[in-house]
Chains A and B, each alone.
Chain A
Amino acid sequence: MRLLEYQAKSLFDEYGITIPKRYIANNFDAIKKGAEELGFPLVLKAQLKVGGRGKAGVIKICKKPEELKILYDDLTSKTVQGEKVKTLLMEEFAEHTNELYLSIYLNRSKRCYSIIASAEGGIEIENVGDKIILDTGIDGPTEKDLEYIASELTLNGNSKKNFIEFASRLTNLVVKKEAELAEINPIAVRNDGTLLALDGKVIIDDNAMFRHEEMNKYEDIATLEAEAKKSGFSLIELDGNIAVIGNGAGLVMSTLDILNDHGGKPACFLDVGGRATTESVLTALTLISRISKVEAILVNLFGGIVRTSVVAQAIIYAYKNNIIHVPIFARISGAESDKAKEILNGSTAKVFHSVEESIVSAVKSVG
C-alpha cells in the first residue's frame, strides 16, 4: 500500500521525524483556514500516488493571499497520469541551507534492508551520481551503520547528530510498520543544523496489513479491486475492452501480453487464483459485468486439478441468469475439456484449444 505524502508524514510525526507545520485541505474554505494558520509564503502540494509531481506542476509556492484562489483552481483542475487532484497539503515554507536524500527499503535482490543516502537531495535518486548505499541486517541500519553514512555525507557537529537521530527514527518506522520503502527526499538542513522532512514516500507491505489495522484508514483502492480482493482475487482495471480472466498471475500476464501482440486491448487483469471453482468463476464474471466498457471476455484456465466441465457450467449459469451478456472466448485446458465444449455448445461462449485461437477470435469480435 502506497501512502500519500500527508499520510507518510503523519507516520513521520508519530515516529519523531520532524515535518513542517501543515494543514490538509479538500476544499477552498479549508485552504483559507490553512493559510490563516500557516501564514505566507506557504507551499501547496497535490496529494497523488504518482511520482514526478514537481515536473507535473502540482507543487506550488503561494506568496500572498491573492494567489490562493488562482493556485487552488489551477491545482484542482489537474490530472496527473490518470490521477485527479483532490486533496492538497499546505505547508509552511521552510528556509534551509541544503538538502539531503535518505531512504530505507527492502532490497529484493539482496534479500535484506538497504539504506541509500546522498548529499544531493531534491532530485530523483536514479539521477544522482554521488550516493551511499549500504546493505543492512533484518532490523535495518544500526547506529554504527548510520555513523558511517553520516561521515560519508561529510556531515559534522549538530547536523551529523541530527541526521543519525533522523535516520534511526526512520529505521524504527520501517521495522515497526513493516514498510517496503520509506523515502525522504529532500531532507532540509537548516541554519542551526536541525533537519526537516520536506517530502515523504512510504510503501507498506500489503501482506503485513493484518498486523496493522491502525493503517486501514489509508487504504484507498478502487471499489471493484477491493471487492475482488475480498474474494481472494487480484483485479486490475485497464483501459481496453476485452476482460481477461485466468487462474494464476503468470498465466494472466502472459495472456495480456499475447492479446497485446494481436492488437487487442485488455479491460482488466483478473487472477482468480490457482484454485478455480464454479463459485470463483461465477464471482469473477459478476465482477467483470460491472465494468461497462467490456465488449468481450477472454478466459484462460489451465485446469488439471480443476474440472473444466465445472467451469463451463458456471459460464452457462452466468448467461442464463443475465449476469453477463457479452461473448466469452475461452481456452480451457485440463480434465474433461471435451465435456466442457459440449456444455458450451450453442451458447454465447466459444471454447478453443489454444490461447492464440481464443485471442484472435476475441480481438476479431470487438472489431
Chain B
Amino acid sequence: MFDLFDILQGKENDRDYKKKAVIVQGITGKFGMFHTKLMMQYGSNIVAGVTPGKGGQQFNGVPVYDNVAEAVKNTGAKISIVFVPAPFFLDATKEALDNGISLLVAIPEHIPIRDSLKCLEIARTKKATIIGPNTPGIIIPNVIKLGIMPAEPFQSGSVVVFSRSGTLMYEVSHILSTSGYGQRISLGIGGDPINYTSLIECFDMIKDRPDVNSVVVVGEIGGDAEEQLAEHIISTGFNKPMVAYIAGRSAPKEKRMGHAGAIIYGSFGSAESKVNMFAKANVVVANRPAEIPILLAKKLKEKSR
C-alpha cells in the first residue's frame, strides 16, 4: 500500500523529514508562478521547476529545467505538482512518471477522458500515485501545501477531509477549523469523471492511522464514488466517526454542474442514491456544510462513551 504520509512528510529520523522535495511542472506559467510562491511561503520545499525551453532560468530562487529528467537528477524529488494546460497534461505526466516521480498532483481541469485513461494506465505500470486531475491539491496543515488552496482555512488536527470539490474543501475545512476540528490532511480527489486515485483508494491510505480520529467526505452528484466508499465501509467494518456532505441535491438531471464529473444520468449519480448508501454504512450526511462539525461532534462524543 502506498503510504501518502511517508512520501509527503517522511519519517522522524529522515534527513528531510517534513521537508520533502517537490518539483513544479509548468512553473513559468502565470498560474504556476503564482502558486509556487504561495506554496513556498507555506513552507513547502519546492526545489525545481520544469518548463521546456526555459531551462537555466530561475523563478523565486528555484532553478528551472527543460525537462523532468534533469530536475529529478539534480534534486532527487519524488513529488511533482503539475500546472500545464490540459492538452499537454498527458505528455507531462508520462515524462514525470518515466523519470521516477512517484506522487503527482494533477491541478489542470478539462483533461480529455481518453488521456485520463492513458495516464491511469501509466500510473499502474509505474506503481505511481496521481491525485486529481481537476484537484485543488493536498495539504497537511503546518507541514506541506501542494496545491492551489488558500492556507487560512486549514489547521492541524486529527480529521481527514476528502473532497471532490475545491472551494467546498476550503469551506468545509474552514468550518471545521473554526469549530476546533483541525485536519490531519485535506485532499481534493478531483472534480473529473475519472479520479486517478479513487475515493476508496484515498480512504484506504488513511483509515488505519492512529493520528486520524474521524473522516469527513465532501461528495457531489455524479458517478458512484460515494456509494462505493459506503459499501467498502460496510464490508471492512470501519468504525471511526464519519460525516459526509453531498452537493447538488437540487441539480437537474443530465446537466453538467460545473465539474465534468457532476452529472446525473437516470438515477445513476443522484444525491439520493449516495445519501441512502451512506445511511446504510452508518455515515451521517449533513444537509449543509455548516452542519458538519455539529454532526461530527455528536459522533465523536458517542464514540468516546
Q: Which residues of A contact B (CB under 8 A)?
A: 2, 50, 106, 108-109, 111-113, 126, 138, 175, 178, 180, 205-208, 210-211, 234, 236, 238, 246-254, 256-261, 266, 269, 271, 274-275, 302-305, 333-335, 354-356
- The residue on A at minimum CB distance from B153 is A304
**Size class of the B contact interface (CB-based, 8 Å):** 35 or more
Q: Mark B242-260, 1 if CB is under 8 A from A, else 0.
A: 0001011111101111111
Contact B228 A251 (CB under 8 A): no
Q: Please name 28 pairs of A and B residues whose Cβ atoms are closer than 8 Å in the assembled complex, sorted by A.
A: A2-B254, A106-B113, A111-B120, A111-B198, A178-B114, A206-B260, A208-B113, A210-B87, A211-B112, A236-B256, A236-B257, A249-B262, A250-B218, A253-B251, A254-B248, A254-B289, A256-B250, A257-B248, A257-B250, A257-B287, A257-B288, A269-B257, A274-B166, A302-B167, A302-B170, A302-B174, A303-B150, A305-B38
Query: Is B117 among interface residues, defined by CB-CB distance under 8 A?
Result: yes
Stretch of B1-9, B74-82, B208-216, B219-227 lying at the A interface? B219-227
- Using a CB-CB cutoff of 8 Å, which residues 153-169 of chain B contact chain A? 153, 163-169
Contact A250 B220 (CB under 8 A): yes
Query: Is B16 among interface residues, defined by CB-CB distance under 8 A?
Result: no
Contact B171 A354 (CB under 8 A): no
Contact A253 B258 (CB under 8 A): yes
Q: Which residues of B contact A (CB under 8 A)?
A: 31, 38, 86-87, 110-115, 117-118, 120-121, 136, 148-153, 163-171, 174, 191, 193-194, 198, 218, 220-225, 228, 245, 247-252, 254-262, 266, 287-290
Answer whether A354 and B153 are a contact pair too, CB < 8 Å, given A109-B225, A178-B113, A274-B166: no
Complex formed: what's the CA distance from A275 to B149 in Å? 11
Complex formed: what's the CA distance from A112 to B120 in Å? 10
Closest 7 interchain pairs by CB? A250-B165, A304-B150, A249-B258, A248-B167, A250-B168, A208-B112, A260-B250
CB distance from B287 to the nearest CB of A (A): 7
Contact B168 A254 (CB under 8 A): yes
- The residue on A at minimum CB distance from B257 is A253
CB distance from A203 to the nearest CB of B (A): 10
Other A-B contacts than A249-B257, A304-B153, 16 sampled, CB-CB below 8 A, are A106-B193, A108-B193, A109-B225, A112-B117, A138-B117, A178-B113, A208-B115, A211-B112, A234-B256, A236-B257, A238-B252, A250-B169, A250-B218, A250-B258, A256-B248, A269-B257
Contact B152 A304 (CB under 8 A): yes
Complex formed: what's the CA distance from A367 to B208 in Å? 51
Contact A253 B220 (CB under 8 A): yes
Contact A302 B171 (CB under 8 A): yes
CB distance from B189 to the nearest CB of A (A): 12
Point out the residues of chain A lying under 8 angstroms from B110, CB to CB.
Answer: 206-207
Centre residue among B31, B38, B118, B152 by max chain A CB count within 10 A: B152
Contact A253 B247 (CB under 8 A): yes
Complex formed: what's the CA distance from A258 to B290 in Å? 11
Contact A236 B255 (CB under 8 A): yes
Point out the residues of chain B lying under 8 angstroms from A260, CB to CB.
Answer: 249-250
Contact B113 A180 (CB under 8 A): yes
CB distance from B202 to the nearest CB of A (A): 14
Q: Which of A207, A251, A261, A305 contacts B165 (CB 8 A)?
A: A251
- The residue on A at minimum CB distance from B271 is A257
Contact B258 A254 (CB under 8 A): no
Contact A207 B249 (CB under 8 A): no
Point out the residues of chain A lying under 8 angstroms from B118, CB to CB.
Answer: 138
CB distance from A366 to the nearest CB of B (A): 17
Complex formed: what's the CA distance from A177 to B122 in Å? 22
Contact A254 B255 (CB under 8 A): no
Q: Which of A138, A207, A252, A304 contacts B111 (CB 8 A)?
A: A207
Complex formed: what's the CA distance from A118 to B121 in Å? 29
Point out the residues of chain B lying under 8 angstroms from A335, CB to CB.
Answer: 152
Complex formed: what's the CA distance from A141 to B223 in Å? 22
Point out the residues of chain A lying under 8 angstroms from B150, CB to CB.
Answer: 303-305, 334
Answer whether A250 and B251 are a contact pair too, CB < 8 Å, given A111-B120, A180-B113, A206-B260: no
Complex formed: what's the CA distance from A266 to B193 in Å? 25
Complex formed: what's the CA distance from A305 to B224 in Å? 31
Complex formed: what's the CA distance from A304 to B87 in Å? 29
CB distance from B37 to the nearest CB of A (A): 11
Point out the residues of chain B lying under 8 angstroms from A180, CB to CB.
Answer: 113, 193
CB distance from B295 to the nearest CB of A (A): 16
- The residue on A at minimum CB distance from B269 is A108
Complex formed: what's the CA distance from A206 to B263 in Å? 13
Contact B167 A251 (CB under 8 A): yes
CB distance from B219 to the nearest CB of A (A): 9
Point out the residues of chain B lying under 8 angstroms from A248, CB to CB.
Answer: 165-168, 258
Complex formed: what's the CA distance from A50 to B243 in Å? 36
Contact B194 A108 (CB under 8 A): yes
Q: Which of B254, B258, B261 contacts A234 (CB 8 A)?
A: B258
Contact A356 B220 (CB under 8 A): no
Contact A253 B221 (CB under 8 A): yes
Point out the residues of chain A lying under 8 angstroms from B257, CB to CB.
Answer: 234, 236, 249, 252-253, 269
- The residue on A at minimum CB distance from B227 is A109
CB distance from A316 to the nearest CB of B (A): 24
Q: Which of A208, A250, A275 contacts B259 (CB 8 A)?
A: A250
Contact B289 A269 (CB under 8 A): no
CB distance from A221 to the nearest CB of B (A): 11
CB distance from B174 to the nearest CB of A (A): 7
Complex formed: what's the CA distance from A260 to B247 in Å? 12
Complex formed: what's the CA distance from A138 to B124 in Å? 13
Complex formed: what's the CA distance from A63 to B268 in Å? 39
Complex formed: what's the CA distance from A249 to B259 in Å? 6
Point out the residues of chain A lying under 8 angstroms from B113, CB to CB.
Answer: 106, 178, 180, 205, 207-208
Answer whether A205 and B259 are a contact pair too, CB < 8 Å, given A250-B247, A302-B170: no
Complex formed: what's the CA distance from A274 to B166 in Å? 8
